C-alpha cells in the first residue's frame, strides 16, 4: 500500500491531509477535475465512506480533516459546529500592521462573487477572528489567525476589512503574488474513538511553487519517478508542458526554450534523482505526416537517455524510449487508471472483480500500445490478452512484462486490426471479465475505413460488448478534446442500453491531479468505468 504524501495522520475514525494550494476540496462539477476529497475517497477501499467535515478554499493550503465512519463524522461535525476545534492559520500581508493583537467581530454577507464584513447590526452570520503578530520579513508581515467561527472566506474577509489583505488575494484587494499566502497550520480536536486531544501541525511553505507542491502532495517519489510537472496554463505556463521521466525532463510546446533556460534545469531539484538531461518535443497536430526522427524528442542539453529508459510508476517498471517517435511509450495521464487495474479497486464500493467471481479474471486490452494497462492487470492477478496493430509495440509490451517479473508466455499478444479481431473473437464465443477500450483519436484500416473517437466511440463499444461477461467491467477512455464529457458518456451509455444490457455500476474520472483542469487548460481525458449486466 502506497499512501499519498499529503496524508498527515490516519486512524480508524479520521484522515487528515495537508492540502496543497490550487486544489479544490471537492469537485466543482460531475465532469470537472477531482477535488482532493474525491481523489482520496475513491483511492482506497477503507476510505469509501470518507466524508467532508470542513473545507478549505481552493487556493488555501493546509490541514484538512475527513471522517471515515458515520459515528466519527457525527462526533467531528459536532466539534466543529460547537467551536471545540482549535484552528490556527498563518497568513502574510504586505500592508503595515500597527497592532500586535486584535480581534475582528462582524457579520459576513455575500456580495456577488465575494463576501463583505458588516456591523453585527447588518444581519448575516456572526463571525469572529483573532489575529496576532508573528514576525516581519522585509516588506511583509506574518500573522497568526484563529477563526473562532467558521464562515466562508472568513479570515480573508476580516483581514481585508482591517486594511491587511492577504498577499496574493486578488478577490479581496491583496497584492498580486504567485499564490494566496494563507495556510491552515495547526489543528487540535478530540479523537472520536478515545476522546484524547489530537494535535497536528503542518508548517506553511509559501516559497515552493504551487505546481510543485501539488505533485509533492500526490506522488510518492520512491514509487513513481515519471509524471507531469507543468500542465500549461493550469500551472501558469501557457503552451508549455514538462514531464519528469526518471532522471530526465521532456519539455513540449510550439518552440524550444533557450539554451540557458534548458541548461538551468540540469541538476535541478524537481525531485530525486537530479536531472541528467533535457529533451524537447514540438507539439504536432499531424504526427503521421512527420518522419519518426523529426517527431521524436530532441536532446537540448545534458546527457542522452539510454536507448531503453526504465521508469517507475506506483512501484511498476515501464520501458520508455525517446527515439521511437512522438510518443515515448507510456501515457502519463493514465496513471490512476493503471493503478485501478493494479489494485483491483475502481472506486468507492466498486471492486474490479464481481462479487462471487472465482479464478483468474480474463482481461482484453484493445489498442494495447506498449501494454501499460496489461502489465498492471497481470500484476493484479489477471490473465491478459493484449491486442494491437503494431508488432513493435507488442514486443515492447512483452519487455514491460519481463521488467516486472511476469512471463509473457502466460498471456496472449495478438497482432492485428482491433475491429476485425473483436468480430473474430465474438464468433469464437470468447468472453472476458474486463474490457479496456482506449482507442486513438483517429485510425484508418483498409477493411473498416476511418474511425473517429468523436463520432464513432459508441460503435466501438457496441462491437466490443458481446465479448464482455455478465457483470463484467468496461473501461472506456478517450483523450479526444473535442468530444465533450456529456457526449462521451451518452455515446457509451447509448451503446450499452442499445445492446439490451444494463449498467450496474458507473464511475467517471478525468485526468489525474498532476494534469490539473482549469478554464484556460480544459479537461481532455475522459474515462468511464462501468459494470455491465448480462443481456
Evaluate the omega torsion of the peptide bond into residue 409 and state whether it is cis, within 30 degrees of 0. Answer: no
Q: Tens digits of per-residue pLDDT, 134-161?
A: 999 999 999 999 999 999 999 999 999 9
Burial class (CB in 10 A: 0-12, 13-18, 19+), 148: middle
CB contact set of 535 (below 8 Å; sequence gap of 6+): 470, 499, 500, 501
Chain CA centroid to CA 300, Å: 29
SS3 content of the chain, % helix, strand, coil (to 5): 25, 35, 40
Here the cell at position 513 is 491531479
Positive or negative, the CA dihedral 398, 403, 404, 406 is positive
Q: Tens digits of per-residue pLDDT, 333-344?
A: 999 999 999 999
Distance CA(114)–CA(2), nearest Å, equals: 39
Q: How confident is the model at residue 275 (pLDDT cuts 50, 70, 90)?
A: very high
Least confident segment among 100-104, 176-180, 321-325, 424-428: 321-325
What's the confidence (pLDDT) of residue 356? 74
The number of CA neighbours under 13 Å toward the Cβ of 433 is 20
What's the confidence (pLDDT) of residue 535? 78
Question: What residue ranges define each of the domains in the chain, with the CATH number in brackets?
Answer: 7-201 (3.30.2350.10), 219-313 (3.30.750), 331-532 (3.40.50.150)
Distance CA(136)–CA(469), nearest Å, equals: 66
pLDDT over 70 (residue 179): yes
What's the confidence (pLDDT) of residue 122? 75
Catalytic positions, written as ranges: 57
Task: Give the angle 487-491-497 at the CA atoms, nearest 5°.
Answer: 135
- Of 344, 295, 325, the C-alpha closest to 1 is 344
- Of 462, 529, 528, the C-alpha closest to 501 is 462
Q: What is the mean pLDDT of residues 185-190?
A: 97
Report residue 202: phi and psi, to 5°.
Answer: -145, 105
The β-bridge partners of 250 are 243, 279
Phi-psi region of 163 (alpha: psi -120 to 50; beta: other; left: phi over 0): left
- Of 213, 217, 183, 191, the C-alpha closest to 10 is 191
pLDDT over 70 (residue 481): yes
What's the confidence (pLDDT) of residue 168? 98
Distance CA(37)–CA(54), nearest Å, equals: 11
Taking all residues of the chain, what is their mean pLDDT, rounded to a whole number?
Answer: 94
Least confident segment among 126-130, 187-191, 205-209, 453-457: 453-457
Q: Tens digits of per-residue pLDDT, 507-528?
A: 999 999 999 999 899 999 999 9
Instruction: Specify the DSSP element, H or E, that contains 480.
Output: none
Report residue 323: phi and psi, to 5°.
Answer: -125, 5
Here the cell at position 367 is 489498442
Here the cell at position 122 is 447588518
pLDDT over 80 (residue 444): no
Q: How confident is the model at residue 442 (pLDDT cuts 50, 70, 90)?
A: confident
Instruction: Specify the DSSP element, H or E, that contains 503.
Output: strand 503-509
Least confident segment among 109-113, 356-360, 412-416, 475-479: 356-360
Q: Where are the beta strands (DSSP E) in 396-501?
A: 412-415, 432-437, 442-445, 449-452, 468-478
The number of CA neighbours under 13 Å toward the Cβ of 193 is 8
Q: Tens digits of per-residue pLDDT, 6-65?
A: 999 999 999 999 999 999 999 988 888 899 999 999 999 999 999 999 999 999 999 999
Amino acid at each position: 500500500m502506497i499512501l499519498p504524501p499529503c496524508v498527515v495522520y490516519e486512524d480508524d475514525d479520521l484522515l487528515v491531509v495537508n492540502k496543497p494550494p490550487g486544489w479544490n476540496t471537492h469537485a466543482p462539477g460531475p465532469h470537472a477535475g477531482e477535488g482532493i476529497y474525491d481523489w482520496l475517497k475513491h483511492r482506497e477501499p477503507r476510505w469509501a465512506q470518507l466524508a467532508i467535515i470542513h473545507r478549505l478554499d481552493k487556493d488555501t493550503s493546509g490541514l484538512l480533516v475527513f471522517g471515515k465512519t458515520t459515528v466519527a463524522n457525527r462526533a467531528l461535525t459536532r466539534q466543529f459546529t460547537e467551536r471545540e476545534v482549535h484552528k490556527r492559520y498563518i497568513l502574510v500581508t504586505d500592508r503595515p500592521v500597527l497592532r500586535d493583537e486584535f480581534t475582528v467581530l462582524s457579520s459576513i454577507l455575500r456580495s456577488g462573487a465575494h463576501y463583505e464584513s458588516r456591523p453585527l447590526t447588518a444581519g448575516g452570520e456572526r463571525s469572529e477572528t483573532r489575529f496576532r503578530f508573528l514576525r516581519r520579513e522585509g516588506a511583509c508581515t506574518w500573522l497568526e489567525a484563529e477563526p473562532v467561527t467558521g464562515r466562508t472566506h472568513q479570515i480573508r474577509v476580516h483581514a481585508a476589512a482591517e486594511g491587511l489583505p492577504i498577499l496574493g488575494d486578488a478577490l479581496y484587494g491583496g497584492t498580486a503574488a504567485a499564490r494566496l499566502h494563507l495556510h491552515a497550520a495547526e489543528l487540535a480536536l478530540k479523537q472520536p474513538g478515545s476522546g484524547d486531544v489530537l494535535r497536528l501541525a503542518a508548517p506553511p511553505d509559501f516559497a515552493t511553487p504551487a505546481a510543485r507542491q501539488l505533485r509533492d502532495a500526490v506522488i510518492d517519489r520512491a514509487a513513481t519517478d515519471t509524471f507531469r510537472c507543468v500542465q500549461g496554463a493550469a500551472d501558469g505556463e501557457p503552451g508549455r508542458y514538462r514531464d519528469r521521466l526518471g532522471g530526465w525532463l521532456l519539455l513540449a510546446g510550439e518552440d524550444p526554450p533557450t539554451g540557458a533556460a534548458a541548461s538551468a534545469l540540469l541538476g535541478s531539484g524537481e525531485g530525486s534523482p537530479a536531472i541528467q538531461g533535457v529533451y524537447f518535443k514540438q507539439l504536432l497536430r499531424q504526427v503521421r505526416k512527420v518522419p519518426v526522427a523529426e517527431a521524436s524528442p530532441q536532446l537540448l542539453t545534458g546527457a542522452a537517455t539510454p536507448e531503453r529508459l526504465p521508469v517507475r510508476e506506483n512501484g511498476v517498471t515501464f520501458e520508455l524510449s525517446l527515439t521511437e517517435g512522438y510518443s515515448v511509450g507510456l501515457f502519463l495521464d493514465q496513471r490512476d487508471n493503471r493503478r485501478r487495474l493494479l489494485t483491483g479497486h475502481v472506486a468507492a464500493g466498486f471492486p474490479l472483480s464481481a462479487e462471487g467471481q472465482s479464478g483468474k479474471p480474463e482481461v482484453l486490452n484493445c489498442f494495447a500500445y506498449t501494454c501499460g494497462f496489461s502489465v498492471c492487470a497481470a500484476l493484479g492477478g489477471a490473465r491478459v490478452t493484449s491486442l494491437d496493430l503494431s508488432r513493435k509495440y507488442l514486443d515492447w509490451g512483452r519487455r514491460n512484462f519481463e521488467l516486472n517479473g511476469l512471463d509473457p508466455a502466460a498471456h496472449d499478444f495478438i497482432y492485428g486490426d482491433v475491429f476485425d479481431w473483436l468480430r473474430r473473437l465474438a464468433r469464437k464465443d470468447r468472453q472476458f471479465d474486463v474490457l479496456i477500450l482506449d482507442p486513438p483519436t483517429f485510425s484508418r484500416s483498409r477493411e473498416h475505413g476511418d474511425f473517429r473517437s468523436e463520432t464513432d466511440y459508441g460503435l466501438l463499444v457496441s462491437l466490443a460488448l458481446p465479448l464482455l461477461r455478465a457483470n463484467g467491467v468496461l473501461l472506456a477512455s478517450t483523450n479526444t478534446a473535442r468530444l465533450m464529457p456529456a457526449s462521451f458518456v451518452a455515446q457509451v451509455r447509448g451503446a450499452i442500453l442499445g445492446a439490451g444490457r444494463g449498467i450496474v455500476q458507473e464511475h467517471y474520472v478525468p485526468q489525474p491531479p498532476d494534469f490539473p483542469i482549469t478554464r484556460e487548460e480544459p479537461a481532455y481525458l475522459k474515462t468511464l468505468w462501468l459494470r455491465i449486466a448480462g443481456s
